[in-house]
Amino acid sequence: MRHTRYVCAAATLTAAVALNGQAKAESIDVNDGGLTVAATWRAQPSAIATGETTTFKLSLKATGGDGTSGISFGQSTFAFASGSGASAPTTTELVLGATASSAGDTLTALLAPLQVTYYEAGLHTATIATNDAAISWSQDGAVRSGTYSLNLGTTVAVGGGEPTFQSAKVPVLIDAGESFSFAALADAGVSGGALSYLWDFDSDGTFDSSNQNPDYAYASAGAYTGTLRILSDAGSTDFKYAVDVMSSPVAPVPLPAAVWGGIGLLSAFGFTRARAMFAAREMND
């Protein structure tokens, strides 16, 4: 059998730091023959308390086209950096051992997991990188080899990962059928990322809106308890509020009343109701 050794220039695989705690899987073509290497770098879990430990994992998957067989990752060194001086280990080197050759056109390899303990709250970056890592395979009976390089980053939220409320605008006293512009603002915490706002206006277990600032009208009079749930990549936080829905306008209380920051909602509710009752009593005298 004729053996031809093919050496290609190194390709580079780079993934931006992912705020959701997991780097997106990326692919590269390590040579003109079409062999690709996909890498995924992640922390499990990606949100931990101060002093807790997370586990980092790197998985590699090499895939070839028709006529590809015998794929093998060569022994290569990977440099890890936690991105924080308050972690153990902060930096280290990991070695990917030579793997058994694949009988087909796909081979998956997993770098030995690395456990890291973080002692400082905040959003920490962890990277894994290698240069000119070796890989070999057979293409239509010809032995080929090449190299790949990668530099991947992911994040770990340490302490205080759940979102926190900054402000909320809800009615305390409102007329039935009257539309009100609800509003809320929250902080995603150290984990960052996007926030989701879920409104359950009558606390029946079904969320009525996923808009951050929705408009809503209560159809009938009564006392309602509403729930706003804020979701982030690291967890969720619930905020409950009380609404008194009247069957007719109550003067001279200005409507709607609103409470910002979620502080004093129940006390404001009782104070507004007392004012309304006092005003009605004066009108009847």
Provide the pLDDT for residue 140: 87
Per residue, the 3-state secondary structure of the chain, as one string, reads CCCCCEECCCEEEEEEEECCCECCCEEEECCCCCCEEEEEEEEECCEECCCCEEEEEEEEEEECCCCEEEEEECCEEEEEECCCCCEECCEEEEEECCCCCCCCCEEEEECCCEEEEECCCEEEEEEEEEEEEEEEEEECCEEEEEEEEEEEEEEEEECCCCCEEEEEECECEEECCCEEECEEEEECHHHCCCCEEEEECCCCCCCCECCCCCEEECCCCEEEEEEEEEEECCEEEEEEEEEEEECCCCCCCCCCCECCCCCCHHHHHHHHHHHHHHHHHHHHC
Provide the pLDDT for residue 81: 94
Per-residue pLDDT tens over the stretch 167-187: 889 999 999 999 999 999 988
Among 277, 174, 274, smallest CA distance to 226 is for 174
The token pair at 179 is 């539309």
Provide the pLDDT for residue 161: 63
- Percent of the chain clearing pLDDT 90 (strictly above): 43
Counting beta carbons within 10 angstroms of the beta carbon of residue 133, is it exposed (0 to 12), middle (13 to 18) or buried (19 or more)? buried
Is the predicted pLDDT of residue 274 greater than 90, yes or no? Answer: no
Greatest mean pLDDT among 6-10, 21-25, 46-50:
46-50
Is the predicted pLDDT of residue 254 greater than 70, yes or no? Answer: no
The CB density around residue 152, as the number of other CB atoms within 10 Å, is 25
Q: How confident is the model at residue 25 (pLDDT cuts 50, 70, 90)?
A: low
Mean pLDDT, residues 48-68 taken together: 90
Provide the pLDDT for residue 284: 46
Provide the pLDDT for residue 249: 58
Q: How confident is the model at residue 93 (pLDDT cuts 50, 70, 90)?
A: very high
CA atoms within 13 A on the CB side of 134: 14
C-alpha to C-alpha distance for 175 and 246, rounded to whole angstroms: 5
Domains of the chain, earliest start first: 6-158 (2.60.40.1470), 164-284 (2.60.40.10)
C-alpha to C-alpha distance for 283 and 140, rounded to whole angstroms: 96
Q: How confident is the model at residue 156 (pLDDT cuts 50, 70, 90)?
A: confident
